[in-house]
Structure 1
Amino acid sequence: MSIVTLVSGGLDSTLVACLAKEEGVHQYPLFVDYGQRARERELAACRTAMTRLGLPDPQVAELSGYGRLIRSGLTDTGLRVIEDAFTPGRNMLFLLTAAAHAMQMNADAVSIGLLHEDTSLFPDQTTAFLVDAEQMIERCMGRRIRVLAPLSMFHKHEVVELARSKGISGTYSCHLGGATPCMDCISCNEFKFKEN
């Protein structure tokens, strides 16, 4: 089996790549530049993570015009990173781009680092979205390309613990893109959990 792994340099996608490597799955890491504010730090962390995992340097899908057209707090410094965080169609863009790349590479699936549905804030983070996306991709591509979300049964604290046990470090998840995580954006806030 081979997959296109969507990687962002963040903890979730790095763990997804790590788990796939442990299972012996051949991977084509793909980083999507959708015009995000944190692009440079995300891509640097992504390249470092892939090197540490012994995976190829990620291909970069240069789609920054999307973020100029579809403005959100993740793409536009004039908008609020928390209140305006929803970027309509972002995860579909990721999956469609990854699926097209999978077609070119003759890969069987694409993988995305979405967590448990009860942590979802937006409609494109749900199980129903993933099911529908897989069907749409099959319709678009003319063949089935599976959509995998291997962390979909995990909550953030479980991801953090599993990543720690795998020795994953040096990831970058802040939407603002600063040298120090802001600890206020949605991604940073995911790390503020209570241990059970």
Structure 2
Amino acid sequence: MHTRALVLFSGGQDSTTCLAHALQRYGHVETLGFDYGQRHRVELDARLVVLAQLRDQFAPWRDRLGDDHLLDVGVLGQVSETSLTRDMAFEMEASGLPNTFVPGRNLLFLTLAAALAYRRGLQVLVTGVCETDFSGYPDCRDDTMKAMQIALSLGMDRRLLIETPLMWIDKAETWALAHTLGQQSGVAGGGQALVDLIVEHTHTCYLGDRTHRQAWGYGCGHCPACELRARGWAGFQPPSSH
């Protein structure tokens, strides 16, 4: 039976929702972040604030939330020429992929997460990849995740489960899932509290903008990540209002 999980946690909307999912589901949950020289490095600060707020506001999850880990994977910035690791405009490339695609990022992240999980005795890797609201990134696809699960389990000689709670839902449904998870936490008003926490403290904007406060949170409002988050917010209705 799976009881211990490691969440790939950036401090953004998606990974925070995945963290709530894991905290509701597993008895022990650890978190893992990556510093790869990303332009939006402010997310590395935001993730610590989110963890503190979860511990403070959601007492039923507090004892389940274990150690946080941060790995330096600056090598990604050395091998990739992308708008997430360079000061360059967001645009589509000849391949049909946006230049926000960092080749091999999720593959490397999952490999390192699996190695850490092996050492820490964690059985499940939880990641916020998604095929519904994404930019065509091949390393976010369900087939990629299934292949990685097989490869990592074989390579570690230990059964690892890769869990993708957001794989088949869009951003509006991700907001709704967060609301539902907050309700299920046992905290009074937990649904709205978790949504408010995500709005106020998580970071998604690719430009690292924490000066402009939108209805859905902080961000520039025009980068691909902000546009996606804004569209999801516009379509979001708390489950209780249906």
TM-score, normalised via structure 2 length: 0.74
Q: Is the 8 A contact 1:32 1:62 kept in 2?
A: yes
Q: Which runs of 5+ in 2 are unaligned?
A: 56-64, 93-98, 180-190, 212-218, 237-242
Change in CA separation of 1:166 and 1:107 when aligned onto 2, cut-off 3 Å: farther
Change in CA separation of 1:61 and 1:186 when aligned onto 2, cut-off 3 Å: same
Q: Is the 8 A contact 2:133 2:228 kept in 1?
A: no
SS in 1 for 2:29: strand
* Distance in 1 (alpha carbons) for counterparts of 2:82 and 2:40: 13
* Distance in 2 (alpha carbons) for counterparts of 1:44 and 1:118: 28
Question: Are 1:113 and 2:144 an aligned pair?
Answer: no
Match of 2:89? 80
Percent identity over the alignment is 30
Kindly state the Cα deviation for residue 137 of structure 1 after the two structures are TM-superposed.
Answer: 0.9
Q: Is the 8 A contact 1:50 1:56 kept in 2?
A: no
* Distance in 2 (alpha carbons) for counterparts of 1:173 and 1:140: 32
List aligned pairs for 1:88-167, cutoff 5 A.
88-115=103-130, 117-120=131-134, 121-164=136-179, 165=191, 167=193
* Distance in 1 (alpha carbons) for counterparts of 2:122 and 2:67: 17
Which structure carries more helix by proportion? 2
* Distance in 2 (alpha carbons) for counterparts of 1:47 and 1:5: 14
Equivalent pairs counted in the alignment come to 193
- Pick aligned residue for 1:5 from 4, 7, 14: 7
Change in CA separation of 1:134 and 1:152 when aligned onto 2, cut-off 3 Å: same
SS in 1 for 2:11: coil
Which has the higher mean CA deviation after the structures are superposed, 159-168 or 22-31? 159-168
SS in 2 for 1:192: helix
| Shift >3 Å, 4+ stretches | none
TM-score, normalised via structure 1 length: 0.90
* Distance in 2 (alpha carbons) for counterparts of 1:183 and 1:133: 34
Q: Which runs of 5+ in 1 are unaligned?
A: none
Q: Which amino acid aligns with 1:47?
A: L
Kindly state the Cα deviation for residue 23 of structure 1 after the two structures are TM-superposed.
Answer: 2.2
Q: Is the 8 A contact 1:81 1:175 kept in 2?
A: no
Q: Which amino acid aligns with 2:13?
A: L
Structure index of larger Rg = 2
- Pick aligned residue for 1:69 from 79, 85, 98: 79
Match of 1:58? 68
1:26-75: per-residue Cα shift (whole Å, max 9, x none)?
11100011221112x10111111112222346210111221132221111
Match of 2:207? 176
Kindly state the Cα deviation for residue 10 of structure 1 after the two structures are TM-superposed.
Answer: 0.2
* Distance in 1 (alpha carbons) for counterparts of 2:192 and 2:26: 16
